[in-house]
Structure 1
Amino acid sequence: MVWALAHLKEKIRRKFLGAKSIYKERGLRAFYERLIWFIVVRRNKYNSMLRYNIWLFRQKSNGEAKKSHGLTPHDLKGLAGPKISILTPTYNTELRVLKKMIQSVLDQTYTNWELCIADDNSPRPEVKEVIGEFAKRDARIRVCLRQENGHISKASNTALALATGEFVGLLDHDDELTPDALAEVVKVVQRQPNVDLIYSDEDKISKFGIRFDPHFKPDWDPELLLTQNYVCHFSVYRVSLVRDIGGFREGYEGSQDWDLLLRFSEKTAPEKIVHIPKVLYHWRAIEGSVASGSEQKPYAHMAARRAIQDYFYRNQISAVSLPGYGPLTKVRYELKSQPRVSLIVATKDRADLLERTIMGILSQRVYLNFEIVIVDNQSIEKDTLRLLESFSKNPKIKIIKFDQPFNFSKIYNYGVRVSTGEVVGLLNNDLEFVDEAWLLELVSHVVRGGVGAVGPLLLYPDGKVQHAGIVLGMAGGVAGHIFKGSVASEPGYMGRIHCLRQVSAVTGACLFVTRRAYEEVGGLDEENLAVAYNDVDFCLKLTQAGYRNIYTPFTSVIHHESATRGFDTTPEKRVRLQRESEFMKSKWNGTLEKDPYHNKNLSLNREKEIELA
């Protein structure tokens, strides 16, 4: 009882010191965001733990475990491949979990491996004794007992020096691999021999052995990697490239694997990075481990930002890494100049909405090189006509008439044609701008090399999420808005509401793109997608042309959705929506079924909450 109270007291003390440090260094807002993160994560922890274990049970009971989380004897027959060296630095590891870690490697169904353990001069002799006992039992366990403590980067490099395999996998001293982890990795190598980096999904495991908090990851996303180390565990690298870049760098302890990943990614190509959408790694959540809370190692956040800043420096990118939401980082790209931006606003009546949108654009003083093109689609209300007349006197505003039936694609294509900017912004007339630097943030991404469409976090007037990126396959099988209806101040699944990341598409309600890219893919489809899905189709065309589409949470805009023309609820509109939906499914057959930025283990049935499939 006394021990339990002392343990609780120490835990509370650590939480308090962590909170105090955040408040002192980053201010009240950062303290509030971290508090929200902590409350939401803790609140959801036990519900999600129960749901996840029910899901695991169902996977096993319906036979999916054999397909998704293991290999059949037939799969293993004749499975020959490269030697994989597993790197594990140890230090004062709890004996119980140390044994479990080593046993999880011994239990691998693929046998061509070696476990390279570098003990970082653990003061407790029994740690070295346990390691030595296992090494005597199996010659594949290679050990180096360091004579001085050098921290995790030095210890990891010592383990790397022991490696003789073609690939190295990273395994922490208190975590576990699933029995089929290496076999799944080798299957990828056999399919794609030139692969350089393989990473899998992961979950956490409690001190009682209960699995929880699965991290079902997207495919390779270098944008997301600058906000969080989503790759993390289990990651397997081609050893020659790891040695070429000098292994793990000292001074980045706590985020040394993130730093390694950033440097490694510069030496390979995206097509040589493969994601296995299966949990192959159990991250143990114990006191002092990052798995039990990111506040456990606050120095890791500083190291991560240094690693990201170094990445910018090496690649001559004008950007800065800043503290982000909760434990996340934030990236701000710097513009050396302000290219001319054409803001295309389609409207029909509703002077109140249009005035708020236009005045919101004109009132910002951060980005001044822009023009506004208002495309009036048959307005008849006197208030609107008077407003348009007054706007026509402003040299920054151009008003053009579109005297045809409503066709979103045709209206915006027309607006783009008569505009003059290097960058084009498609805007609804029911937007409310609350961030002074919203235009600067969006343009700073658009002008980066290889970027296609960019969209911000859109909020409903009540502060809930309307848009945080579009996921293929949702909303009847075409596409839908992920996190729609979620509370914007909460993190969302794995913090993704607040992560800069690649997405398959962004909404046309606020979409920015270079004129060159817009014209290259032919703009919006006027013939087949007059109203719905034209933004999704446009973004997929950009992807097909080699561009990447980006969602940024670092600016938010209030969207009074469909306030002008309403929702598709009439019989006539439903027929049109169905027709456009069928066109999308036919045109993008095979693409809509797999969104690379949405894991197949996550459901497509609900937009608001991320659920297990």
Structure 2
Amino acid sequence: MPSNTSISNYLLLISGLRKPLKWNNSACLDSHAKKCSLNLSPGWYSVHARVRDVDSGVNPTGHTLILDIAERSEPLLLSRSVNTRRIIRLQEKVSYVMVSLEDDLDPSVCLDISLTRITRRRAKKRMLKRMNRRFDPVQHKDSIDNTEHVQIDMLRSHGHWPSIEELYQLYQQTNQRHFTPTPYASWLQDHLLALANHWRSSDWKILPTEKLELLVLTMDDSEHSAWQESIAALQAISGERSPVIRIVNRIDKKAVTEALEQSSHVVLAGSGIVPGLEFLVAIIQVLAQNSQCELLYTDHDQLTENHEREQPVIKPDWDPYLLETGNYIGDLCVVSTELYLHIDGLEPGTAKPAIYPFLLKARAELHRDQVIHIPGIMFSQPQRNDTSYQDRWFTQHSDELVTRAYSTLQPDVLQALPRVEIIIPTRDKEPLLRQCVESILELTDYPNYHITVVDNGSTEPATSAFHDELHDEARYDVLAYPGAFNYSAINNFAVENTQSDVLILLNNDTQIMQSDWLTRMVQACMLPKVGCVGAKLLYANGRVQHAGVVMGMKGVAGHAFRFQKSDSLSYLHKLRSPHQVSAVTAACLAVRRDTFEQLGGAG
């Protein structure tokens, strides 16, 4: 295993022969750039770059590699989950290759690079295949991102199949756009235009806006002008049907009290908030069509001291568990006046920013169908100069926050202590099973659990001996399940032959790392509207394997935060906070028995 992160750990594969790169040290640019002398003839080449972790054998977080071939830069993006391949054309003889990285690699990471000579015909075939794979005619029907594919179709429609030179030019344009991130300002302009087209297309004549009256509570009178612009945008398209909107400074206690008596909803705005032109347009439409809505929020970005917008915060839908460990909603939200008064609102007559404490109080009063998240960047809030301090504070207090989140959401579980059945399918592999079972028995502090190992035809003596070792362990039993391996059938069989209230489906290649793992999973699992609960799973090198499944990744699904460091803060601190996800892996899954049976078991 490499002992450091220097680029000398990289390997070069040329024409099928692997050998260490022979670096010309006098040509070193810095610790992340090295020069290799070689001889390459003119022609077509396939470049293949692969990052691998020698401990786990998996690809770590993506890195940006710059491959400079004879002063001709070919930027390559090394993805988290796939190898990177490029087709390049060398016009003349090449005497060296320079490789540079934009960031550090971990000590256990190696980079393999290959340069393979290919025929002209194969180069053309691979470029066409690459571009067709990038193009989805349904998803990108009206997108500007298919420019090169459209140009190819135009050439074909005129009876002209693109030459390899034309194809290579389009291929390079596709790769360059894929490699170069779109500037946020450019993306935001298109995004705001899309929002305007969406929210201004409604028929206001049929929207029931008569009962809506909004009170905007601001922190400072100087912020009123931004709100007046948003009101003007609303009135321009709603006309006479525009609801009454009052803007009041929170310091003015009397004005706030009077305005609350006449308002149906309250807009809580923190200091320095700048609403987008579509903010009021959107929330009025949503509130008019959702009378049950008690809390509404949108996405936002950050406003720098130079009044530049950056760092968009794309938020999940209502997640009371995530809210317990931080204010992911931000400094602007809309609540019903009834809810606002019911929990005593904000502290009157003061400019104290108390939106997050208000949300924590409101959380206990809200059901999921009463909270609406409107996707879209609809306001900006001042960039916090103490972001690093906030991250350090969260790092220091994350355990306390997470513990509070569990105890607040389900305080009675530790008193009821429902019985838990841990089901572990296995076939031989005694060292893995031993590690799994012993870690449960030695570490788990939850008292009311039982382990059922479902043995699917083990034949190795070591496995039978391990079962015999635990013969007198009251918390351990073995069920025999002969026949072909079928994960779903095995678990269904185990559920039918056990009686516990809570089920844990656990792979035999897992190892418990902390004593309260089962307590936390049971606390979350027993919440009324929770279907199942997963755990953060790590590879042997400490990197994240699973922290929830995101539906839609790569057209199907994928693991969020995969290959990140287990203790990283991550987006919205999700790696350290309980939060809702689309799905979880059954490698470690908790589910209530009644839920499992209602769904007909594992399918």
What is the TM-score normalised by the length of structure 2?
0.61
1:114 and 2:245 matched: yes
1:283 and 2:416 matched: no
Give the aligned partner of residue 599 of structure 1: none
Q: Give the 3 Å change call, closer, same or farther, for CA 399–494 of structure 1 in structure 2.
A: same
* 1:187-586 pair list within 5 angstroms: 187-249=285-347, 256-285=354-383, 295=390, 323-324=397-398, 330-333=404-407, 334=411, 335-364=414-443, 366-477=445-556, 479-525=557-603
Q: Distance in 2 between matches of 1:254 and 1:488?
A: 36
Give the aligned partner of residue 193 of structure 2: 66
Q: Is the 8 A contact 1:345 1:374 kept in 2?
A: yes
Q: Secondary structure at 1:345's aligned position in 2?
A: strand
Give the aligned partner of residue 598 of structure 1: none
Q: Is the 8 A contact 1:455 1:506 kept in 2?
A: yes
Q: Is the 8 A contact 1:116 1:159 kept in 2?
A: no
Q: Give the 3 Å change call, closer, same or farther, for CA 369–495 of structure 1 in structure 2.
A: same
Of Structure 1 and Structure 2, the greater strand share is in 2
Q: Is the 8 A contact 1:377 1:401 kept in 2?
A: yes
Q: Is the 8 A contact 2:273 2:332 kept in 1?
A: no
Q: Give the 3 Å change call, closer, same or farther, for CA 401–504 of structure 1 in structure 2.
A: same
Give the aligned partner of residue 561 of structure 1: none
State which of 190, 197, 213 in structure 2 corresponds to 1:83.
213
1:181, distance to aligned residue in structure 2 (A): 0.5
Q: Give the 3 Å change call, closer, same or farther, for CA 172–54 of structure 1 in structure 2.
A: same
1:283, distance to aligned residue in structure 2 (A): 0.4
Q: Distance in 2 between matches of 1:421 and 1:259?
A: 38
Q: Give the 3 Å change call, closer, same or farther, for CA 519–402 of structure 1 in structure 2.
A: same
Q: Secondary structure at 1:484's aligned position in 2?
A: coil
Return the letter of the residue paired with 1:204: Q
Q: Secondary structure at 1:182's aligned position in 2?
A: helix
1:439, distance to aligned residue in structure 2 (A): 1.9
Query: Residues 94-143 of structure 1: CA distance to partner in whole angstroms, max 9, x if unpaired?
Result: x6xx47645644553346453433274xxxxxxxxxxxxxxxxxxxxxxx
Q: Is the 8 A contact 1:101 1:173 kept in 2?
A: no
Q: Secondary structure at 1:414's aligned position in 2?
A: helix
Q: Is the 8 A contact 2:184 2:310 kept in 1?
A: no
1:54 and 2:177 matched: no
Q: Distance in 1 between matches of 2:490 and 2:391?
A: 53
* 1:72-221 pair list within 5 angstroms: 74-75=201-202, 78=205, 81=209, 82-90=212-220, 98=223, 101-102=226-227, 104-105=229-230, 107-110=232-235, 112-118=243-249, 120=251, 144=252, 159=256, 161-163=258-260, 164-221=262-319
Q: Is the 8 A contact 2:229 2:277 kept in 1?
A: yes
Query: Residues 412-435 of structure 1: CA distance to partner in whole angstroms, max 9, x if unpaired?
Result: 111122223222111100111121
Q: Distance in 2 between matches of 1:74 and 1:448?
A: 40
Q: Secondary structure at 2:233's aligned position in 1?
A: coil
Q: Is the 8 A contact 1:323 1:329 kept in 2?
A: no
Q: Is the 8 A contact 1:181 1:281 kept in 2?
A: yes
1:510, distance to aligned residue in structure 2 (A): 0.7
1:189, distance to aligned residue in structure 2 (A): 2.0
Q: Distance in 2 between matches of 1:162 and 1:297?
A: 40
Return the letter of the residue paired with 2:290: Q
1:411, distance to aligned residue in structure 2 (A): 0.7
1:212, distance to aligned residue in structure 2 (A): 1.6
Return the letter of the residue paired with 1:118: N
1:352, distance to aligned residue in structure 2 (A): 0.8
What is the TM-score normalised by the length of structure 1?
0.60
Query: Residues 134-172 of structure 1: CA distance to partner in whole angstroms, max 9, x if unpaired?
Result: xxxxxxxxxx4xxxxxxxxxx6x8635435432221223
Return the letter of the residue paired with 1:68: L
When the two chains are superposed, the root-mean-square deviation of aligned CA atoms in Å is: 3.5
Return the letter of the residue paired with 2:233: Q
Q: Secondary structure at 1:236's aligned position in 2?
A: strand
Q: Is the 8 A contact 1:228 1:329 kept in 2?
A: no
Q: Is the 8 A contact 1:71 1:180 kept in 2?
A: no
Q: Distance in 2 between matches of 1:72 and 1:518?
A: 41
Structure 1 unaligned residues grouped into runs of 5+:
1-42, 45-49, 121-143, 145-154, 302-321, 526-613
Q: Distance in 1 between matches of 2:198 and 2:192?
A: 9
Q: Which has the higher contact order (CA 8 A, sep 6+)?
A: 1
Q: Is the 8 A contact 2:406 2:524 kept in 1?
A: no
Q: Is the 8 A contact 2:199 2:278 kept in 1?
A: no
Q: Distance in 1 between matches of 2:463 and 2:456?
A: 11
1:343, distance to aligned residue in structure 2 (A): 1.0
| Higher mean displacement: 422-431 or 252-261 | 252-261
